[in-house]
Chain A
Amino acid sequence: MAGVNAPLVSQGDVYALTSRGEAEIRGAKTTLTPLALELLVRTDGRTTVDQLQASMSEIPSQQVTDTLAKLLHHHLIDYSDPRDDALRLDNIKGIARTAARAHALDASARQEAAVGFNSLKHDGFYVRIARRPEAQPKLPRDRAPKLLIVEDEPHLAQFLSHFMRFEGFEVRVAGDRNAIVEALQEGRPELVLLDVMLPDANGFDVLARIRQHPSLSDLPVVMMTSIATREAVIKGLACGADGYVTKPFQVHLLVKAIQTIFGLAHDRVSDPWEHA
């Protein structure tokens, strides 16, 4: 397919959804691959192909181009002139289009939740790829990165704390709502590991509060959950979780999830019990 269709797609091209494309992402059932669906959702009549590739840096550029070519071939997207977009947004069609995009995002969230759910079942962790490269969090070079562990089970909290300290993090542990607030007031961490079930709070509510806070809204948060249902994943994505790790977790998977969030290569992480 790449050989035949790739020349159709150029770096500076801009695409818009066709009515068929909109119907595809609104539909409950789709036969598209997650990447194709992700590209459909990101197709907004303004973003160029190279911007799309940059925003999905984990995926090889050629794969993005090939998938776009396939979408073009099946008339799910079409060439668009971005100069028309401002005009279109002013008229009724533009408003209808914005509403359609809201639906599309729902479909995207559903699809991502399905992918996330399967990944959780299969791999024990899932990290979403929604962040753009410029928004990807970076670890500080001049000091130990700060990590907030929100976990009320004391042994598990201590275990995570020892492990993440060994991995070079400066760790702070919070077991309830007050401790979370106190820890976040003391300083912004580089990452939060957040348990879903806390004695006096719900992890999803805590996440929603973090996302609403002006200076914490982009704070990377990994949910630690034993409630790995599709609904829980949808809820987490809706609240803006960056990743999920199922409990009981294997530490190397947790580290892998964290490395993915920071865009680091996956080092081999030894199982701490293997020498015990």
Chain B
Amino acid sequence: MGTRVISQQDFQRQLDSLNAEFKASLPERIALIEQQWARLSERLLRARAMKAAPRRRGRALRAEERPETTQNETATLERELYRALHSLAGSAQVFGFGALGEAARRAELALGAKGARAALRRSSIMQQALKIMREQLELELQPLEVSLDPRAVVHY
């Protein structure tokens, strides 16, 4: 469109280095997503338990038990996790991590879906998606071992 000022080789080098950088960032990103989901699911379980349990009469609620506090914190956690998944889903596929990006996309959709039925399915979809993301990451990070012996099996 405009006049090209970068050579094809330099451009290729930039992209290769960016690809390597993205790959190197994945373990930390996925670990963060796992942590965020662990915290969120724990909070959701606690909220459900508190709702179900009969409250003792006369006892004032502690700050962390007040509905407005828990709801705000849960909403913040949910938002942060959604953003992390959205960001990974949008970028992973561009950098060639198709399956990982697709898993992140499914998790993002499950987290964003509204309604009681969606909430019931959310947990299992999130678990599955996280498992796929972790597996894909390990697959990508594992060095490719190729034997020159034609009888040998190629190990991935």
Per the bound structure, the CA–CA distance linking A158 and B15 in Å amounts to 9
Q: Are B91 and A258 in contact (CB under 8 A)?
A: no
Contact of A155 among B1, B14, B21 (CB under 8 A): B21
Q: Which of A159, A166, A249, A272 has the most CB of B within 10 A?
A: A166
Asked, given contacts A159-B94, A197-B83, whether A165 binds B6 with beta carbons under 8 Å apart, the answer is: yes
A163 to B19, CA, bound (A): 13
Contacts A162-B18, A248-B101, A273-B96; A197 near B1 (Cβ below 8 A): no
Contact B18 A197 (CB under 8 A): no
Q: What chain A residues lie within 8 Å of B90 (beta carbons)?
A: 153, 156, 226, 247-248
A275 touching B91 in the complex, CB below 8 Å, given contacts A139-B1, A165-B6, A255-B1: no
Say whether A144 faces chain B, with CB atoms less than 8 Å apart.
yes
Report which residue of B2, B21, B86, B93 has the largest number of chain A beta carbons within 10 angstroms of its beta carbon.
B2
Using known A-B contacts A155-B22, A155-B95, determine if residue A226 contacts B89 with beta carbons closer than 8 Å. yes
B3 to A, closest residue via Cβ: A168
> Which residues of chain A come closer than 8 Å to B4, judged between CB atoms?
166-168
Mark interface residues in B1-42 (1 if CB within 8 Å of A CB, else 0).
111111000011011101101100100000000000000000
The answer for the CA separation of A100 and B11 in the assembled complex, in Å, is: 53
* Chain A 143-184 interface mask (CB, 8 Å, partner B; 1/0): 011000000110110110011011111100000000000000
A276 is an interface residue with CB less than 8 A from chain B: yes
* Binding site secondary structure of chain A: loop
Q: Which of chain B's residues have a CB closer than 8 A to the CB of A166?
A: 4, 6, 11
Among B1, B5, B11, B86, the most chain A Cβ lie within 10 Å of the Cβ of B1
If A226-B105, A276-B12 touch, does A153 touch B91 (CB 8 Å cutoff)? Answer: yes
Classify the interface of chain B: helix, strand, loop or mixed. Answer: helix
Closest to B13 in A: A162
* Number of interface residues, chain A, beta carbon within 8 A: 32
* B87 interface hit (Cβ, 8 Å): yes
B14 proximity list for chain A (CB < 8 A): 162
Q: B83 to A272, Cβ gap below 8 A?
A: no
- Which residues of chain B have C-beta atoms less than 8 A from A60's C-beta? none
Scoring A139, A156, A199 by chain B CB atoms within 10 A of each residue's CB, the highest score goes to: A156
The minimal Cβ–Cβ distance linking B38 to chain A, given in whole angstroms, is 23
A259 within 8 Å of B (CB atoms)? yes
B1 partner, pick from A145, A153, A159, A162, beta carbons under 8 A: A145
Q: In the complex, what residue of chain B is closest to A225 when comparing beta carbons? A: B90
Chain B residues within an 8 Å CB radius of A139 = 1-2
Q: Which residues of the partner chain B approach A199 to less than 8 Å between Cβ atoms?
A: 83
Chain B, 90-138, CB within 8 A of any chain A CB: 90-96, 101, 105
Nearest neighbor of B6 in chain A, beta-carbon distance: A166
**Contact call B1/A276, Cβ cutoff below 8 A:** no
CB–CB A167/B18 < 8 A: no
Identity of the chain A residue whose Cβ is nearest the Cβ of B23 in the assembled complex: A155
Query: Do B18 and A168 touch (CB < 8 A)?
Result: no
Measured CA separation A254–B29 after assembly (Å): 27
Chain B residues lying within 8 Å of A275, measured Cβ to Cβ, are: 12
* 24 A-B pairs (CB sep. < 8 Å): A139-B2, A144-B5, A145-B2, A153-B90, A155-B21, A155-B22, A156-B91, A159-B18, A159-B94, A159-B95, A162-B11, A163-B15, A165-B5, A166-B11, A168-B2, A170-B2, A226-B89, A226-B105, A248-B94, A258-B1, A273-B19, A276-B12, A276-B15, A276-B19
Given contacts A155-B95, A258-B1, 12 further A-B contacts (CB under 8 A): A159-B18, A159-B95, A163-B15, A166-B11, A168-B4, A170-B2, A248-B91, A262-B1, A272-B11, A272-B15, A276-B12, A276-B19
